[in-house]
Structure 1
Amino acid sequence: MSISILGAGAFGTSLAISLALGGRDVTLWARDNSAIETMRDTRENAARLPGAKLPDNIKLTSDIGDLTDNIVLLAVPMQRLRDVLSKAPALHGKTLVACCKGIELTTGEGPVEVIRSVAPIATPAILTGPSFAADIAKGLPTALTLACDDETALKDLQAELMAPNLRIYRTSDATGAELGGALKNVMAIACGAVMGAGLGESARASLITRGFAEMNRMALALGSKPDTLSGLSGFGDLILTCTSPQSRNYSFGFALGNGADFDRNITVEGAATARATLQKAQTLKIEMPITQMVVALLDQKLSVREAMNELLARPPKEE
């Protein structure tokens, strides 16, 4: 079977390479035709994934009408997902697999919810978990979670997305999977800020642990299964994103912590997600103090040390 990928950023390109090397024919779409022409000529996405060669069985296109496969991976930023889908009605009857992580700022919806909202006749799913595009493109071993409420479609989709270096685990808990992928980015900003400010590894370990508790509180309140966030889509992704400078969210937080400039052209999903999460938490009356501190940092209402002091000064409680 062939597979289409909408979005030729680093992650979309890396998935295209992995699936193509696994024997799939892949159509990779980007809206910038000049970028597509360059990629055709060089067989490389030098702007997003330098050094990674594109196999011959990857077709490159800027015409969304070329995405004719039944399975389409949506590798676009979370805050653009609704707009992209709204402009591509031909995709609405297909199996649409979100490969982005976050919560939409305007609606509070996750990727699967956005797909359901814009394309109600589609079969929505999400592919998420601890993964860096550069690792996948190099053929390094990576395990991901595939979530879809339709269990029959889920098993077929799992088989189609497996590749030599990609091990795919499945779950029917799409809510939990999308929340794990979204909320870990908020915690990664917090951990980056702590390390950037020189507050130490012990502080980071505490934030990871208590951040995981926050993630679970929201996931359970929204109907997730209790064990979903203990897997790759939650705990696994949290550990990777909170400990590696390859993470854009961690690096953004690190820059916040040490007062350095950060490239505004780099997408940091956790910033919008933090604000959307805090709004949702307030509506649900859920305590999420780390998320609240991240928003305060983003709004420049507190310094990192002031935010940490507020967290440390919270009333004693049972773990």
Structure 2
Amino acid sequence: MGEEEASKGEDTVEEIRRMSGYGGDVIAVGGFPTSDSESDSDLAAAEIMIIWAIQGPTSFAPNTLVSQSSLELRLDACGHSLSILQSPCSLNTPGVTGSVMWDSGVVLGKFLEHSVDSKLLSLEAKKIVELGSGCGLVGCVAALLGGNVVLTDLPDRLRLLKKNVDTNLQRGGNTRGSAVVQELVWGDDPDPDLIEPFPDYVLGSDVIYSEEAVHHLIQTLVQLCGDQTTIFLSGELRNDAVLEYFLESALKHFAIGRVEQTQWHPDYRSRRVVLYVLEKKSKRCLADVSSLNQSC
């Protein structure tokens, strides 16, 4: 991104909104009731310009919160010491990214914990579906926070996922919520138990990784979400074109807000990660709070 684009990002006026399923402020990306007439493509392009200007992700090293060459990631969360097994050798398989942890997963898991501790979010007894669960950290944290979580992934990813869920939740015996592992292929019709009733929350980390997967991801998000469903998605800032394509496509169905890093867990922040909240446009409980001049 050039200096002229960065300067435009610095001068942008960002609008603050509230989503019904999250008590903190978010920066409006688009899809909210507003007098603005910008197209979805313009809104998506503007968001990419702002993110790259504010965070400068390519200037920072990736994966500073994890070690992908290790067979295990240890992380303290919710009063538990989690042991997340990884399979680094599987990274050599094209299209396989869920065999190891990424910063975006750690960020989302600790964000959920921090938001619950800050009383901006309650997962107690909530129905939660996680997409592309991979190693299962985010879903395990959500269960420890009281959620009834269904962790989903492709059939060939379930063995490692089940092992991590069993190791960190089933054997402990003091999990506030519950966790089960289930196959889900994006684009296929979800099993009735996933949408009857609709989940309160849908979670995903590092699920925006290729243009080819975006269509099926959004199709699945639309299928899973009712009017009272809130989505949290964290993503790695590695490819601006893929993220822009996702945002443009998602804005056709969802209102999207970006959570500023000041609301993340203070010890788990990364300039290489972005965190979004999505809710279906049909919801009428989106509250307009104010506009804010955002200085970079």
TM-score (norm 1): 0.34
| Larger Rg, first or second structure (1 or 2) | 1
Q: Which has the higher contact order (CA 8 A, sep 6+)?
A: 2
Identify, as 1 or 2, the structure richer in strand: 2
TM-score (norm 2): 0.36
Identify, as 1 or 2, the structure richer in helix: 1
